[in-house]
Structure 1
Amino acid sequence: KTAEEDVEQEEDPQVPQEEEQEAENTVANFDLNDLRERIEGDIITPEDGPAFVEAAVIWNGDWKIRSSPMAIVQVRCTEDVQKSILYAKENKIGIAFRCGGHSMKGLSTSVGGMVIDLGKYMRKVEVDPEKRLVKFQGGCRIKDIDAEATKYDLCTVLGAVGNAGAGGLVSGGGLGHFTRKEGLSVDNVISAEVVCARGLLHNISSDSEPDLFWAIRGGQSNFGCIVSFTMRLFDCPKQILAGMILY
Structure 2
Amino acid sequence: MGSVSDVYGTLREQLKGSSAEVLTPDSEGYIQSIQRWSEHNVKQAHAVVKVASASDVSTTLRFVKENGIPFVVKGGGHSTSGSSSIDDGLVVDLSKLRKVTVDPESKTIKAGGGTIWEDVDVEAARYGLATVGGTVNHTGVGGLTLGGGYGYLTGKYGLTIDNLVSVDIVLASGEEVVASATSHPDLFWAVKGAGQNFGVVTAFTFQGHPQPNPIFAGPLIFLPDKLPQIVEFANKFHTKNDGNQALLMGFSAPPPANAPVVLTQIFHNGTEEEGKEFFKDLIDLGPIVNAAASIPYEKLNSLLNHASGFDGRKQFGSGAFKLPLNPDFVVQLHADFMAFVNTHERMNESLLLFETIPYGKVREFGEKGEAAGSFANRGDYYNVATCFKWFDPKLDDEIREFSKGLLRNASQSAGVEQDEKVRSVEGVGMYGNYTNLDVDAGQIFGSNAKKLQELKHKYDPDNLFSRGVRLVPRSLVVVN
Map residues 106-121 of structure 1 onto 2, 5 A cutoff: 106-119=82-95, 121=96
Number of aligned residue pairs: give it. Answer: 219
Unaligned stretches of 5+ in structure 2? 220-248, 250-261, 263-330, 332-480
Deviation of 1:28 (Å)? 3.0
Corresponding position: 1:210 with 2:198: no
Which residue in 2 is equivalent to 1:147? Answer: 122
Give 1:88's aligned residue: 64
Residue 243 of structure 2 corresponds to none
Which residue of the other structure, out of 219, 230, 233, is the alignment partner of 2:194?
Answer: 219
Q: What is the alpha-carbon distance in structure 2 between the residues aligned to residue 217 and residue 203 of structure 1?
A: 14
2-side partners of 1:92 and 1:189: how far apart?
Answer: 33
Question: Is this contact kept in 2: 1:95–1:113, CA < 8 A?
Answer: yes
Aligned to 2:74: 98
Tell me the distance in 2 between the aligned counterparts of 1:197 and 1:26.
Answer: 24
Q: CA deviation at 1:107?
A: 0.8
Structure 1 CA distance for aligned equivalents of residues 153 and 2 of structure 2: 43
| Equivalent residue number for residue 46 of structure 1 | 25
Which runs of no fewer than 5 residues in structure 1 stay unpaired? 1-24
Is 1:70 matched up with 2:46?
yes
> For the residues of structure 2 that align with 1:33 and 1:186, how far apart are their CA atoms?
38
Amino acid at match of 1:111: D
Offset from partner CA, 1:29-81 (integer Å, 9 cap, x none): 75212111122210111122x621111111122x3x35221100001111111
Runs of 4+ off more than 4 Å: none
The answer to whether the 8 A contact 2:36-2:42 is kept is: no
1:70 and 1:26, CA in 2 relative to 1: closer, same or farther beyond 3 A? farther
Instruction: Find the residue that maps to 2:217 and give its secondary structure.
Output: coil
Distance 1:107 1:132 in 2: 32
Alignment of 1:1-247 (within 5 A): 28=4, 30-39=6-15, 40=18, 41-48=20-27, 51-61=29-39, 63=40, 65-119=41-95, 121-244=96-219, 245=249, 246=262
For the residues of structure 2 that align with 1:97 and 1:168, how far apart are their CA atoms? Answer: 10
TM-score (structure 1 length as normaliser): 0.84
Q: Distance in 2 between matches of 1:243 and 1:100?
A: 24
Deviation readout 1:112-131 (Å, 9 max, x if unpaired): 11000001x11111100110
- Taking only aligned residues, the RMSD between alpha carbons, in angstroms, comes to 1.8
Report the Cα distance in structure 2 between the residues aligned to 1:26 and 1:153, rounded to whole angstroms: 54
Q: Secondary structure at the match of 1:192?
A: strand
Corresponding residue for 1:8?
none
3-state SS in 1 of match to 2:43 = coil
